[in-house]
Structure 1
Amino acid sequence: MAQEFDRIEPTFNGGPIQTPSRAPIADATFDHRYRPTSVPLEVASNLRGKRQGRLAPYEKAGRVIRLMAWVTAAIFVGIGAAVGFPAFASGKYPPREFIGLAAFAVVITGALFCVAWGVFRRRTWARVAGVIYGVISLPVFPIGTMVGIYLLWILPFRWHHEA
C-alpha cells in the first residue's frame, strides 16, 4: 500500500517549506527526504522537549548556586593546599584542623551541589535550602552579598515564572 507524504525542504531561517509531492512511497522502502506531516518539524528537532531560548529564573538560580559551589570548592582546595603541603613536606601528620577543614569543605560543597541539582528540578526543599543559602551568603561582601540578594529575589518571588 502506498502512502502520500509531503516533501519537507528546510530553509536557512529554521522554518520548513512544505510542498506537495504527488509521488507515492511504498511501505517497504522509505526515502529519508520524505516525512509524514503529522509530526511538526519543531517537535522532531527538539528531542529533549525543552524550550528554546531564555532560561527560566529557577534555572538561573540553579546555575548561580552551582557556580558558587565550584568557587567554594576552589577556595577550600586553596586553603587546604596552603595548610597541607607544608605539613606533608615536613613528614608530619597533618594537623587536626586540616582534617576538620577538609571534612567541612566536602560537606558544604556537596550540599551546595545538591541544592543546585534540586533547584534545577524545581524541588521545594531546594527552594527553601537556596533561600537559607542566600541569607547565609549575605554577609560575605561583595560577591556573597550579590549572590544572596539575587537568590532572595529569585527563589521566593519568581519560582513559578517561566522565561
Structure 2
Amino acid sequence: MGYLEKAGRLMRLMGWLVSIAAIGIFAAIAIPMYAEGKMDSASIGILLLSLLVFAIPLLYFKAGSAIKQGKKWGKVTGLIVATISLLNLPIGTIFGLATLYYLKKGWNEVSESA
C-alpha cells in the first residue's frame, strides 16, 4: 500500500468521524426543538443551517478518493483539509499529522490506474 493510498484512507476515515459528529450536532438541535414543539421560522432556520455541517464530511470523502487516485487537486485539497483538521483536538490533530506525513512522502507517487 502506497503513501497516497494511506493518506486517502485516513482522509476518508476522518470523513466518517466527522459524519458521526454532524449527526450528533443535528440531533442535539432537532430533538429538543421537536420535544418542545418550537417549530417557528427562526428554529427551522437554525435547523437548516445545522444541515450545512454535512458538507464537511463530503469534502473529506471527495478529497480522500481523489488522493487515492493520485489527482493533483486531491493532494492540494488534502493538504488544506488536513492542515485545518489539526485544530480538531485530539483526534483531528493525530489524523491530520498522519495525513500530512503520508501526503508529503507520497507526493511524487504515480497512481497505478493512471
SS of 1:93's equivalent? coil
Return the alpha-carbon distance in structure 2 between the equivalents of residues 137 and 82 of structure 1: 22
The RMSD of aligned alpha carbons is: 1.8
Partner of residue 13 from structure 2, selected from 64, 67, 72: 67
* 1:22-53 deviation per Cα after TM superposition (whole angstroms, max 9, x unaligned): xxxxxxxxxxxxxxxxxxxxxxxxxxxxxxxx
Letter in 2 for 1:155: L
Gaps of 5+ in 2: none
- The equivalent residue for 1:99 is 48
Return the alpha-carbon distance in structure 2 between the equivalents of residues 137 and 112 of structure 1: 10
Do the aligned residues in 1 keep the contact of 2:7 with 2:99 (CA within 8 Å)?
yes
Do the aligned residues in 2 keep the contact of 1:118 with 1:125 (CA within 8 Å)?
yes
* TM-aligned CA deviation for residue 110 of structure 1: 1.2
Do the aligned residues in 2 keep the contact of 1:56 with 1:161 (CA within 8 Å)?
no
Do the aligned residues in 2 keep the contact of 1:131 with 1:156 (CA within 8 Å)?
no
* TM-aligned CA deviation for residue 117 of structure 1: 1.1
- The equivalent residue for 2:26 is 80
* TM-aligned CA deviation for residue 157 of structure 1: 3.0
Structure with larger Rg: 1
- The equivalent residue for 2:64 is 116
Gaps of 5+ in 1: 1-54
Return the alpha-carbon distance in structure 1 between the equivalents of residues 23 and 31 of structure 2: 11
* TM-aligned CA deviation for residue 161 of structure 1: 7.6
TM-score (ref. length: structure 1): 0.60
SS of 1:140's equivalent? coil
TM-score (ref. length: structure 2): 0.83
Say whether 1:146 aligns with 2:105.
no
Do the aligned residues in 2 keep the contact of 1:134 with 1:152 (CA within 8 Å)?
yes
Return the alpha-carbon distance in structure 2 between the equivalents of residues 130 and 58 of structure 1: 10
In terms of fraction of residues, the more strand-rich structure is: 1
Q: Percent identity?
A: 32
